[in-house]
Amino acid sequence: MPRSNDHDDDHDSSRATSPRRGRGRAQTSQAAPSKNQPLVVRAEAIDPAALDQDALRVISRLVRQGHEAYLVGGCVRDLMIGRKPKDFDVATSANPRQVKRLFRNGRVIGRRFRLVQIHYSGHIIETATFRREPDPTTNGSALDDLLIVEDNDYGTAEEDALRRDFTVNGLFLDPTEHRILDYVGGLDDLEARLLRTIGDPLVRLAEDPVRILRAIKFATRLGFRIEEGTWEAMRQHAPELARSAPPRVMEEVLRLLRSGSALGAFRMMRKCGALAVVLPALDEHMGPLESSSPEENERKERVWRLLEALDADVQRGGQPSNALLLAVLFHDVVERACELEGLENPTGVEWTEVACDVIDPVVTEARLARRDCVRARAVPFQQRRLAQAPNRRFRPLLFMASEEFEEALQLFRLRTAAWGQGWDVVEGWLERFEAAKAATAEELAVERRRSRRRRRKR
Ligand code: ATP
Ligand code: MG
């Protein structure tokens, strides 16, 4: 279990949550921090060769034109702890129009958060203008309503750092001098492997409850502990996730599922109350948090084991589709809903009706593709067919040619890995599938004709 899950007995309550704390680090800096001055240290932990050449090009052009520009966010955090960054983001004092004017390959995107994407062959450098505290009149109108709906007020580097979510995500790397600028105490927290919001966690999570899921993502991915005040605020504000845009919420949930640490992340989501808000059907299926019912505990254990199998698959390089992930989440939920309706052996139509009730609201709210929804309903249903030996009435060639077959077999394989039973069945299907790939269009047409004839007779 990742270190970051141990909230009950392993937390840090010794430090205040003010972004202005954490400057007590040894003065290895080139410039001593004073009021409104960042802590500045040489970026010794970072190999200059690990920096992205296109991002460096963007920064050097902006600086030559008299603007301030730094590498920011996840790339600085990852480089500091020896991980390979997913992407390189730039923050600058230049406004989007000025950036756009300097780069013919730049495109302005985003409404809630406007930025310029600078396109290079193969990848994009996102270049955002420094933000400041948003104007309250464009956001929540009541004093107690902090939810940010738009974040396009420009500011200074310091204001920008203070608007970011977690201290370890608030560091700036100035590549021209190869130094780190720390306005938020991120260096200390990186060293302590601690995830902490910048500023008051109650305010920062109320502004954007999706930060709760982001905290879980970073803590589980990096193996960081969540600071106590941040964790308490996560518990308090979890219900507020219902106010965030469902597509954003679902995007984070799918990221967690694909992270390779979905088990830790989902355990944490459940513990802080986020799972009950974002996937209520799954949370209910697992019973109350401290249930003493063996049946509920068994249902919960099945979910955990399936997520564990999913993690192992992702860690081996698997790239699960949205439909497969939804099927992983809802297979048992739909099975149980069928049982509760007295459908021991549901037909395809009966199954689809029950699955629609469970899966469709999630997919519709999150604006996922209809195609994902249809497959997410079909994939769990096909599990029975996979468990059944081929016979005269069941023509595996057609089944294997169906759109959802591969995902159905992937779910079957994950379930097999979770329970440790049924590998012979998986092997059998893999062999059959290999052989079926060689089937000609004519053979498939014959199978289809036979199947139609049999259906007519019935
Ligand atoms: P990853 O490695 O997953 O890309 P990241 O830290 O780069 O992690 P992004 O979602 O790419 O995360 O965002 C880039 C940076 O923008 C973050 O590091 C953080 O500083 C800031 N940021 C992103 N989302 C938010 C948010 N909801 N609230 C405040 N700051 C945010
Ligand atoms: Mg990123």
Walk along the chain (458 residues) and give the pLDDT tens digit of each residue: 333 333 333 333 333 333 434 443 433 344 444 457 999 999 999 999 999 999 999 999 999 999 999 999 999 999 999 999 999 999 999 999 999 999 999 999 998 789 999 999 989 999 999 999 877 665 554 545 666 656 678 999 999 999 999 999 999 999 999 999 999 999 999 999 999 999 999 999 999 999 999 999 999 999 999 999 999 999 999 999 999 999 999 999 999 999 999 999 999 999 999 999 999 999 999 999 988 899 999 999 999 999 999 999 999 999 999 999 999 999 999 999 999 999 988 998 999 999 999 999 999 999 999 999 999 999 999 888 888 766 666 667 778 888 889 999 999 999 999 988 888 888 888 888 887 777 666 676 776 777 677 667 66
Residue 17 has what pLDDT?
Answer: 36
Give the CA count within 13 Å in the CB-facing half-sphere of 407. 24
Residue 422 has what pLDDT?
Answer: 82
Report the separation in Å between the CA atom of 324 and the middle of ligand 2, taken as the mean of its atom positions.
25
* Cβ–ligand 1 contact at 189 (below 6 Å): no
Residue 14 has what pLDDT?
Answer: 33
* Cβ–ligand 1 contact at 84 (below 6 Å): no
CA distance 390 to 431: 13
Are the CB atoms for 196 and 230 separated by under 8 Å? yes
Residue 31 has what pLDDT?
Answer: 46
CA distance 234 to 227: 11
Question: Coil, strand, or helix at residue 172?
Answer: strand
Residue 137 has what pLDDT?
Answer: 63
Nearest CA owner, ligand 1 atom 17: 73
User: Can you state the angle between helices 423-437 and 370-387, rounded to 10 degrees?
Assistant: 120
Residue 449 has what pLDDT?
Answer: 75
Main-chain dihedrals φ then ψ at residue 114, nearest 5 degrees = -80, 135
Q: What angle do CA 246, 77, 177 make, to 5 degrees?
A: 130
Report the separation in Å between the CA atom of 271 and the middle of ligand 2, taken as the mean of its atom positions.
26
**DSSP character string of 137-163:** GGS-SSTT----S----B--HHHHHHH
Query: What is the pTM assigned to this prediction?
Result: 0.86
**DSSP character string of 252-298:** HHHHHHTSS-HHHHHHHHHHHTHHHHHSHHHHHHT--TT---HHHHH
Nearest CA owner, ligand 1 atom 28: 165
- Two tokens at 42? 């040489």
* Cβ–ligand 1 contact at 207 (below 6 Å): no
Report the separation in Å between the CA atom of 408 and the middle of ligand 1, taken as the mean of its atom positions.
34
Report the separation in Å between the CA atom of 453 and the middle of ligand 1, taken as the mean of its atom positions.
57
* Cβ–ligand 1 contact at 270 (below 6 Å): no
Residue 112 has what pLDDT?
Answer: 78
CA distance 188 to 212: 21
CA distance 80 to 457: 69
Main-chain dihedrals φ then ψ at residue 174, nearest 5 degrees = -95, 105
Question: Coil, strand, or helix at residue 91?
Answer: strand
**What distances in angstroms separate CA 258 from CA 254, 282, 308, 318, 380, one per listed residue?**
6, 18, 12, 9, 19
User: What are the residues whose beta carbons fall under 8 Å from the beta carbon of 142, sequence distance 6 or more?
Assistant: none
Q: Which amino acid is at 415?
A: R
The DSSP call for residue 193 is T
Residue 268 has what pLDDT?
Answer: 98
**What distances in angstroms separate CA 237 from CA 14, 22, 143, 220, one per listed residue?**
22, 25, 17, 19
Atom of ligand 1 nearest to the CA of 128: 16
* Cβ–ligand 1 contact at 211 (below 6 Å): yes
CA distance 52 to 18: 33
